Structure 1
Amino acid sequence: MLLWLIIFIPGWTLSLGSETEPDFTWHLSRIPQVVSEKTIHLASPTFQADAAAVKATVCGIECQEELPAPSLSQLEDFLSYETVFENGTRTLTRVKVQGLVLEPTQNSSIKGARPRRRRQVYGTDSRFSILDKRFLTNFPFNTAVKLSTGCSGALISPNHVLTAAHCVHDGKDYVKGSKKLRVGVLKMRNKGGRKKRRGSRRSRREAESGGQSLEHPQASTTQRPGKKSRRGPRVAQGRPSFQWTRVKSTHIPKGWARGENGDPALDFDYALLELKRAQKQQHMELGVSPTITKLPGGRIHFSGFDNDRDDQLVYRFCSVSEESNDLLYQYCDAEAGSTGSGIYLRLKEPGQKNWKRKIIAVYSGHQWVDVHGVQKDYNVAVRITPLKYAQICLWIHGNAANCAYG
């Protein structure tokens, strides 16, 4: 008997893509150009930092009202980047920013808050372990990957993984284990070589809607010999396991890897990994982060490998509470191990009826924030701004020619 777990959220349409939901659309805009100016060789990096929760300088809703926006030269310094190659060599690339219109900082509407004790799961644990193999090995869940340093990441091209910078670098040194960094992709090992079948498109949509429809972990389909199943595709046999791929190079913005010159800034807690072997499964494209008002239901989604779930892929969604120019503040339930996950949305393509998912932020982890003199804790994500989109696009393509719009 096939069992279904269904969650209802009052006040919201539960099926994404229905005719009754608002018209949320990806709005393509011209992206500033981040252009490589000069690359210099640096001394071989050290790999001695301990992989731990990020403790970075947070300048978001608590200080952007007071600090001036960075100048163009400061932005160019922050967006210059280190690259560490598999053979242990390291370079620093200076960049120039072209076509940028500096905008005023975005202030928060938050007025005050009561302190909360530190935790990453808030109240009732709303996470879902993706155990059904039809979901686990198909888009969008199969874009989530695991890093050998214990973090998560998201496949944004056949050869590239987006993750958090602190998963490989603590702001001064590279973490232990990142010298031989590997990326794990979940694959099914089928018994008897049987080919797994794809789950239904409708079921995958429901798995990401405000109302969750996932198969119960213990559910299975049964049928008598010689009878055709009336309950859809059969669950693939076998167990999921990681297929590991070495990392060819790692890119980290200088805004994060500041070394002895200062503390790392949470605004730049993102990194790109280039894989030695291309992955065949569908990746998720990068998108510029819209404002909270442009999020369907005000919600975001992400999947990662939380440490407390024993290599299970864990999916969650939640509403965004606050935002700044560079950060999203929210209470998505998440434990260590999920940091580096790609946060994504599903919006309409411009001028079309179909919907498309894109990654618009990187989950960074738990932070205490000073909100008008009151300490408040959030789970924080780093937004993909137009400048960061241009930089990551440069890392992927090697030039700015393919990065004009996003």
Structure 2
Amino acid sequence: LNDLEQLLSYETVYENGTRTYTSVSVHGLNEETVWSKNASSNSRHKREVYGTDTRFTITDKQYSTKYPFSTSVKISTGCSGVLITPKHVLTAAHCIHDGKDYLDGVQKLRVGILKEKSRRGKGGKGRGGREKGKRRKGDKTIEEAPEMDDNGGKKDRKGKGKTRKSRSRRSVESGKPSFKWTKVKQTQVPKGWFKGVADGLAADYDYAVLELKKAPKVKFMDLGIIPSVKELPAGRIHFSGFDDDRPGNLVYRFCSVSDESNDLLYQYCDAKPGSSGSGVYIRLKEPGKKKWKRKIIGVFSGHQWVDVNGNGEQQDYNVAVRITPLKYAQICYWVHGDAGECRVA
């Protein structure tokens, strides 16, 4: 198990640039159950849309800022991620590290949470604002918005000249999503992702955890484990992210898993750059309960050519890194710092 322990060892980078290396020990595990036998390329230059684009753009903030979509976050390096605790984000390792070193800007890494639609500019008292129609004496920078009739036209206002909409109202009506950005306190990446360590298995370790300096007031999604894709409800996985071809909008998709290895899920969920790092989730039944709960069972990595059958014939897939029992224990320890809290139910 020495090689496996090296792959699961990890590096922590703090906001001041300090790095620490932590080695791990694995006990009581059958090695055959954790090694992936499938060769795959490390190429991740694009994400694929297969045939008809089946993605859904969640433009209504009433949905995109509510669970489960609200757990999806945007990483300042251009990827997506998912909240797995109030202060921790799970994402793809390649979103912050290229296998050789950390990407530019990682020391100033930020995580963006979609904000609900602003109420300012629509009358009433906004945050730090005033009642409709009122302004401070001498305030020349805020202009009153014209009233609208039922058909969307401007109402005539006697004694009033033409006015422009305030900047805050224009930004709301433009439909551009807005984010609340939070600084990252530290990041953790498994050593298996680093080039020269995994010997072709780096794709199996394409995941990382970011700890935020402040916890956003957003519900998170728990981690979970599936023994096999045969146990997936309806055989489907789901994930949401911020695809680059639909700027600023949250994009949701679901699809069936075509094949699997011990560490990867091979599927044809339509995706574009920007969606990497999204949390792949399903509904899992709570142990001893009748209730079903959404849980993260993987991290979307990207497009790869894979020899699934081991016969030398490669096929292209969009690939997700699955949460195995070992990875669950590792991520849980990163989050809680106590192995006693990281037993798989």
After TM superposition, the score normalised by the length of structure 1 is 0.67
Tell me by how many angstroms 1:102 deviates.
3.2
Report the CA distance between 1:74 and its aligned residue. Answer: 1.2
Is the Cα–Cα contact under 8 Å of residues 61 and 117 in structure 2 kept in the other structure?
no
Instruction: Name the residue aligned to 2:22.
Output: 93
C-alpha spacing 1:81/1:92, structure 2 compared with 1 (3 Å): same
Structure 1 distance, partners of 2:121, 2:287, is 42
Using the alignment, how far apart are the partners of 1:300 and 1:332 within structure 2?
Answer: 9
1:250–1:319 Cα change, 3 Å: same
Aligned 1:1-400 pairs, distance under 5 A: 72-104=1-33, 120-192=48-120, 240-258=177-195, 265-371=202-308, 372-400=311-339
Instruction: State the 1:404 CA deviation.
Output: 1.7
Aligned residue type for 2:242? F
The CA deviation string for residues 40-95 of structure 1, in whole angstroms up to 9 with x for no partner, is xxxxxxxxxxxxxxxxxxxxxxxxxxxxxxxx111111111000000011010011
**One-letter amino acid matched to 2:89:** V
What displacement does 1:261 show? 8.4
Instruction: Compare 253-262 and 156-165 and name the one that shifted more.
Output: 253-262
**1:405 is the counterpart of 2:338:** no
Aligned residue for 1:83, secondary structure, equals strand
**1:133, 1:266 → 2: CA distance?**
34
Give the CA deviation at 1:264: 6.5
Moved more, 275-284 or 255-264: 255-264
Is the 8 Å Cα contact of residues 47 and 318 (structure 2) preserved in structure 1? no
Task: Report the aligned-residue RMSD.
Answer: 2.5
Classify 1:302/1:119 alpha carbon distance in 2 versus 1 (closer, same or farther; 3 Å): closer
Q: Distance in 2 between matches of 1:280 and 1:354?
A: 25
Give 3-state SS (helix, strand or coil) of 1:311's partner.
Answer: coil
Q: C-alpha displacement at 1:351, in angstroms?
A: 2.8
How much identity, in percent, do the aligned residues show? 64
Aligned to 1:266, the other structure's residue is in SS state: helix
Check whether the contact 1:289–1:361 (CA below 8 A) recurs between aligned residues: no
The structure whose residues are more often strand, as a share, is 1
SS of 1:319's equivalent?
A: strand
Question: Does the C-alpha gap of structure 1 residues 178 and 403 become closer, same or farther in structure 2, counting only changes over 3 Å?
Answer: same
Question: Partners in 2 of 1:104 and 1:81 — Cα distance?
Answer: 21
- Contact in 2 for aligned 1:302/1:342 (Cα 8 Å): yes
Judged with a 3 Å threshold, the aligned counterparts in structure 2 of structure 1 residues 191 and 393 are, in CA distance, closer, same or farther, namely same
2:92–2:276: 8 Å Cα contact kept in structure 1?
Answer: yes
Offset at residue 169 of structure 1 (A): 0.4
Contact conserved, 2:34 with 2:263, CA < 8 A, in 1? Answer: no
Decide whether the 8 Å contact of 1:152 with 1:340 is kept in 2.
yes
Q: Distance in 1 between matches of 2:224 and 2:31?
A: 20
After superposition, give the CA deviation of every residue in 1:105-156 in whole Å (9 maximum; x if it has no partner).
78999xxxxxxxx860000000000112221111000000000000000000
- Unpaired segments of 5 or more residues in structure 2? 39-45, 123-149, 151-171
Higher deviation after alignment, 185-194 or 139-148: 185-194
| C-alpha distance 102-264 of structure 1, shift in aligned 2 (>3 A) | closer
Q: Which amino acid is the alignment partner of residue 91 of structure 1?
A: T
Partner Cα distance (2:121, 2:268) in 1:
42
Q: How many residues end up aligned between the 2 structures? A: 288
State the 1:353 CA deviation. Answer: 2.5
TM-score (norm 2): 0.78
SS of the equivalent of 2:116 reads strand
Pairwise CA distance, 1:193:
8.3
How much does 1:373 deviate? 2.1
1:334 CA displacement: 0.3
CA 1:152–1:104 in 2, change beyond 3 Å: closer, same or farther? Answer: closer
